[in-house]
Amino acid sequence: MVTDNDIGHNGQVNCHIKDDTFKLQSMGSKEYKIVLKKAVDRETQEHYHFTVSCEDKGLPALKTDKDLSIQVLDVNDVEPHFTKDTFKFLTYENDKANFPIGFINATDPDIGKGGELSYSLRNKQQYRLPFQIINSGFISTNQSLDREHRDFYEFEVFVKDNGSPSLNNTVNVEVEVLDRNDNAPYFTFPSVDPFTLNVHYHPQSKNDITVLRASDRDNGNNAFLKYEIVSGNERQLFKLDLFTGVLSYSRTVYQNDVGSYVLEFVVKDSGTPVLSATTSLLLKLTIDKKIYPMSLTLIIIIAVACVVVSLVVIVSLTICIFKHIEVKQSSSARPMPSITEMNDFYNRTDSLSVSQIDNIYRELIPERYKYKRSTSSSFSTVPRPFPMCSEELNAAAYPHYLNQTLGYYHTIESSRKGEAHHYEELPETLDLNICEIPALINADKDEETCERVADQSGRYGMNLFRKDSFFH
């Protein structure tokens, strides 16, 4: 209501307000009420401030302003609201009751009773929930959880305010129970301890013998199993795959490996602390004697022996070949006196003394043709000075001596054209003396003496003839 003590036009008043939310509505002379141009929301704006201006119609016109403030009262018109569409939590098993799981966050912008919230659990499943929730929205366990019994829970949280009328809302909650390494692994094969297994080895068969099986009710690393051989593999005949549990031969099986083996195995998980289980296997190994493979050591020994023998044979053959070549070259290197030299030697020694004959022999036959006298039958390839002769002459031995001292056998080869003479080199020196030459030379005049000499020298495999036949 507006008052003005003036009368007439001076007492007449007009009021107005400049605001987007409120306006003045006239109720008659000098009376106005404030009304809403649009709906207000306390949750959006709780207080409004504006000014009402009034002016009379007098001259001069008088004006007055009045500041007004309006507070919007709350009405429970907003339901509770959750900060997430779905709440997900992780927790470990085996924790005691009242272990915290997580916090459910819901808001209500209303004030007073309309902003007070209450929480409760709603189970969609048939099992009893092992959780509880308080009015602050905090969820905890009401009993110990066992992941091996159930590892996942899904339920709803119901929230309502205390306003009038009461408003409410619901949200989905998921709880995953994490594993603790509280279960030891166990063998599913062998199923009994000890387990007897008969194995017959065949070289053409696979190396795999059997597969060990184990299980663990835990999950993750707590159920990641590893297999090992604990004992019974002193011969290192078997091997066990660390992850698959495949038992196989680690090497070739020999006859002396036949027998019974008590193998003890262990399986371990990868959790903390590490849990394990053991079992044993009585393995009876047999092998066919007819087909068992030769020992590797024996094969190596035979191979080495063959190589050594081959090397010895090759070296021996090589040495023999070189010696044969050397002897052949040494023999072919000595030149033979010609027939002319032999005749000249005979003519010059006829009726000469022993010392003269020796000098002629040294001139006719060079130093390289002379060999040291020896009673040995071995070859002599090194030239040596001829020994000095003695004064004793053995006429009966002349033909035999002459042929051998000069280093030749005298043989006859018959041909269609007539008699041919062939001289072969003597490979050895005999126990004769050069001083016998004159007597032997003169002895050729006596044909009977030559025949006797031929008889005596027959044990050397030679045929001797008269002087005129020998020196043709």
pLDDT at site 227: 97
CATH number for the domain running over 8-71: 2.60.40.60
Could you check whether 8-71 and 186-287 share the same CATH topology?
Answer: yes
Which residue carries 């698959």 as its tokens?
A: 244
Please choose, from the candidates 128, 126, 112, 124, the residue with its C-alpha nearest in 3D space to the C-alpha of residue 157: 124
Residue 303 tokens, joined: 């191979």
CA end-to-end distance (rounded Å), the chain: 188
Residue-level pLDDT, tens digit, the chain, 472 residues = 677 667 777 777 778 888 888 888 887 777 888 888 888 878 788 888 888 888 888 788 888 888 888 888 878 888 899 999 999 999 999 999 999 999 999 998 888 888 889 999 998 888 889 999 998 899 999 999 999 899 999 999 999 998 888 999 999 999 999 999 999 999 999 989 889 999 998 877 788 999 999 999 998 889 999 999 999 999 999 999 999 999 999 998 988 999 999 999 999 999 999 999 999 999 999 987 665 455 567 788 999 999 999 999 999 999 999 888 888 777 665 555 666 766 666 666 665 666 666 666 566 555 444 444 444 444 444 444 444 444 444 444 444 444 444 444 444 343 334 444 444 444 444 444 444 444 444 444 444 444 444 444 443 333 333 334 333 3
Both structure tokens of 364: 């006719």
Reported as a single tens digit per residue, the pLDDT across 223-241 is: 999 999 999 999 999 999 9
CB atoms within 10 A of CB 5: 6
The closest alpha carbon to 185, from 220, 226, 214, belongs to: 214
| Res 82: pLDDT | 94
Q: What is the pLDDT of residue 407?
A: 44
Tens digits of residue pLDDT in 422-462: 444 444 444 444 444 444 444 444 444 444 444 444 433 33
Backbone angles phi, psi at 118, to 5 degrees: -130, 140
In order, the DSSP letters of 158-199 are EEEE-SSS--EEEEEEEEEEEP-S-S--EEEES-SSSEEEEE
In single-letter form, the type of residue at position 412 comes to I
**What CATH code would you report for 186-287?**
2.60.40.60
Query: Mind listing the pLDDT tens digit for each residue in 151-160?
Result: 999 999 999 9
Q: Where are the domains of the chain?
A: 8-71, 81-178, 186-287, 294-333, 339-470
Secondary structure (DSSP) of 279-333: EEEEEEEEE-TTTPPPPHHHHHHHHHHHHHHHHHHHHHHHHHHHHHHHHHHHHHH
Contact between residue 278 and residue 265 where contact means Cβ atoms under 8 Å apart:
yes
Cβ 162 vs Cβ 118: under 8 Å: yes
Instruction: Check residue 462 and give its pLDDT.
Output: 39
Q: From CA 264, how far away is CA 280, in angstroms rounded?
A: 4
CA-CA-CA-CA dihedral for 70, 74, 75, 78, to nearest 10: 120
pLDDT at 186: 95
Q: What is the rounded (10 degree) CA torsion for 286, 291, 295, 296?
A: -110
pLDDT at 335 (0 to 100) = 58
The DSSP secondary structure of 58-121, one letter per residue, reads SSS--EEEEEEEEEPPP-S----EES-SEEEEEEETTPPTT-EEEE--EE----GGGG-EEEEE
Phi, psi of 112 (to 5 degrees): 70, -145
Taking the C-alpha atoms of residue 434 and residue 441, their distance in angstroms, rounded to an integer, is 12
Q: Which CATH superfamily is domain 81-178 in?
A: Cadherins (2.60.40.60)
Helix (H, G, I), strand (E, B) or coil at 354: helix
